[in-house]
Amino acid sequence: MKQRFVLIVLLFAAVIGASEYATIQRDRAIVRNGPGSYYQIIAELEKGDSFVIKEENGGWLKMQKEKLEGYISQKVTIPRKSSEDIFSKMGVQKTDLYVSQHGMSAGVKGFAQKFTKKFSGSQDFITLYLNFNLDPISYKNFENATYKGFNLKQNYQNFKLPPPENKDYFSFPEEGMGIGIASHLANLGIYDDPKLTEYINQVGNIIVEATDAYDINFKIFILDVDEVNGYSCPGGIIFITLGMLKMVRTEAELACVLAHEIAHVERHHGMLEMEKRKHHIMSDNAFSEMDREMEEIGLETDKEYQSSEAEMEELCFDIYEIIVNGRLQEYEKEADQLAIIYASRAGYDGRQLLNLLQRLKQSATISSNEHYTPGQIEKRIVIVKEKLSHYNFNRELFDKYERFNSTVRF
C-alpha cells in the first residue's frame, strides 16, 4: 500500500513537472474565453506574468493562471519589436488593466473617451461599438459552411504571408485613438441592418483568421453614404459605405474590399505617418498621460508632455484626414497586394479585386477618397494586374455568389 502511494505521488509530480509554462513578454496581454479574436475578453495580464500552457490551437494558447483559464495569443510570449512612437511611449505607462463587462480595459476606455471628445465623435457609436460582438456559435457555423470540402491548410501554403516589417500590436492609446476616429466617422450615419452587419463581419473574420492580425478584434460597420469608400481605423474598426456595397457583386469581391482595409490596419499604415513625424512631438522622457482626464486610469501628471499636447492633437487630426481622404500611394499599393493574398489565402478568388476595380472605373464613381477616383483606379488596375501575375490561381477558389446575393439586397 505504501509503495502504491509513493508511486502515485511520483506520477503526480511527473505530470506537474511536465507542464509547459510561458511568460508574458508584452506590456499587456488579452485573455479571451475562446480561441479567436471575436471571443469575449475576460482578463488582461501584464508583462512578466507566467501561466501554464494547456494546449495550442493555431496561434492561440489555452492557458491557466491560478483560477483564470482562457485563451491568449502566442504573440504575447515573444518580445515585441521596440518602437519610439509617441503612443508606444504612452502605452508603457502603468495603467489599470481592469476589464469591464464589455471587454474593454480601463486604459483603452480612458483614451477612447478622450479622443472621442477631441474628434467631436458620436457617443452613440461608442455604445454601438461596445455592444456589437459576433456570436461565436453563429460564426463557427458560417465558417464551417464556407470551408465544407475545402483544404484550407493547403491554401495557406499556396499563398504565403509576407513577414510584417512593423510592430504587430496596438497599444491602448492607439486603440483609444482608433475608437475616437471611428466615432467621428460614425457621424456620417450608420446603416442600421443587424443581419447585413453580422454577415459582413463574418466574412471579415474569415479574412482576419488568414492573416497575421488573427488576434485583433476587428469590427466592421456600414456607413449610410452613397459614395464608394472604405475606412480603417487603428485597433481594428472598419467602415464600408453603402455605395461600395451596391457596387460589389460577389462575396469574393466583398472579401477583397475588406482584406484591403484589414491590410491597412495590420500594417499600421495610419500610425506610420505618426512615426515618420515623431520628431515634432517627442521628448527625451516618456509621456505619462494626455491630461488630467487620464488620472482615472492611474497616470501621473507630466508638464513636459502637456506642453506638447497641442502638437500631438494636430498630428492626430492629420491621421484622421489621411484615413478619410486616402493614404499615401505606397500604402494603397501594399494594401492591394495584401488584399489579393489575404482573400486568396482565405479561399476567396483574389482575382475578383480586379473585376471590382474595373467596374468602378466603368461606372465613373465619385468619391472623396482620392484612391477611388477614376484616375487612381486606373493606376490601381495596372498594379493589381501585375501582382496577380505572380500567383498561381490554378487551384479552385470560391466566390460565394449565391450566398452574397441572397444576403445583400437593396
Query: 137-166: per-residue pLDDT in tens?
Result: 999 999 999 999 998 888 888 899 998 777
CA 360 to chain centre: 26
More confident residue, 58 or 11: 58
| Residue that finishes a domain, picked among 77, 94, 123 | 77
Residue 282 has pLDDT above 70, yes or no: no
- Residue 308 DSSP SS3: helix
Instruction: Please report whether residue 94 resides in a domain.
Output: yes
pLDDT tens per residue, range 222-236? 999 999 999 999 899
Once rounded to an integer, what is the mean pLDDT over residues 253-269? 94
Neighbouring C-alpha atoms within 13 Å toward the C-beta of 293: 11
Q: Evaluate whether residue 306 is within a structural domain.
A: no
Backbone angles phi, psi at 80, to 5 degrees: -75, 160
99 falls within a domain: yes
Tens-digit pLDDT profile for residues 178-213? 999 899 999 999 999 999 999 999 999 999 999 999
Rounded-to-integer distance, Cα 313 and Cα 317, Å: 6
Q: Whole-angstrom Cα distance, residue 295 to residue 303?
A: 14
> Cα(242)–Cα(239) distance, rounded to whole angstroms?
10
Domain boundary among 77, 98, 127: 77
pLDDT, mean over the chain: 81
Nearest partner of 351 among 264, 255, 265, judged by Cα: 255
72-81 average pLDDT score: 87
Confidence band for 356, pLDDT divided at 50, 70 and 90? very high
pLDDT exceeds cutoff 90 at 93 = no
CB of 346 within 8 A of CB of 255? yes
Task: Examine the domain organization and report whether 13 and 99 are in the same domain.
Answer: no
Find the domain containing 60 and state its range. 2-77
251-266 and 269-276 are packed helices; what angle lies between their axes, rounded to 10 degrees? 20
The reply to whether 221 and 168 lie within a common domain is yes
Any domain includes 289: no
pLDDT for 260: 96
Taking the C-alpha atoms of residue 40 and residue 2, their distance in angstroms, rounded to an integer, is 48
The more confident residue out of 392 and 40 is 40
**β-bridge pairing 41-46 and 60-65:** unpaired
**Are 32 and 54 contained in the same domain?**
yes
The reply to whether 46 and 11 lie within a common domain is yes
Query: Are residue 38 and residue 173 in the same domain, yes or no?
Result: no
At 56, which CATH number?
2.30.30.40
Q: Decide if 90 is inside a domain.
A: yes
* 95 and 69 both lie in a single domain: no
pTM to 2 decimal places: 0.84
Describe the strand order of the beta sheet including 219-223 as a list of residue ranges: 219-223, 237-241, 230-233
DSSP alpha helix (H) spans, 222-302: 242-247, 251-266, 269-276
Show which of 59, 77, 95 is a domain's final residue: 77
- At 226, list the grid cell: 452613397
234 with 181, same domain: the answer is yes
